[in-house]
Amino acid sequence: SQRQAFEMFTKNTHIQSWLAQIADVEPCVGGKYELFWDANNRDINSTIGCKITAIEPDKLLCFEWKGPAQFAHFMNAAEPLTHVSVFFSSINDCGRATEIHLVHTGWGSDEDWDQARKWFEKVWENALAILKNEIDK
């Protein structure tokens, strides 16, 4: 359902089942969207400091995003940060199936940014495949 899919992005325990080791998310505009992939060093490989920019329950979630250590020197100093928008829509009359569209924007135009964007294309593809398996359980 759309609600279940939406909660996979907004409930800490659900996020931790497919996307990050630790999640600290406050599902409201201006709330934290902080995910951590290294519990022992929260300053690297995390989205620490990122905030939710728009939220419409079960339909839309938008948040700021940071890069991992290899891209941190330019991604995490960007003003504004890159931005992720996730759209949830029902794809049949019963509402049992949900389509998720994830759009990651705000990329710079040099070679470093291009490398980061290509890296994230693969990362998001893999993450969404894991999410699909988690929802289909």
**pTM for this entry:** 0.94
Average pLDDT over residues 63-76: 96
**Residue 28: what pLDDT?**
98
What pLDDT digit, counting tens, does each position of 97-114 carry? 889 999 999 999 999 999
* Selection from 37, 90, 94 nearest residue 68 by Cα: 37
* pLDDT of 95 higher than 70: no
DSSP state of 81: P
Handedness of CA 17, 4, 33, 31 (dihedral sign): negative
If DSSP codes are grouped into helix, strand and coil, which group holds residue 88? Answer: strand
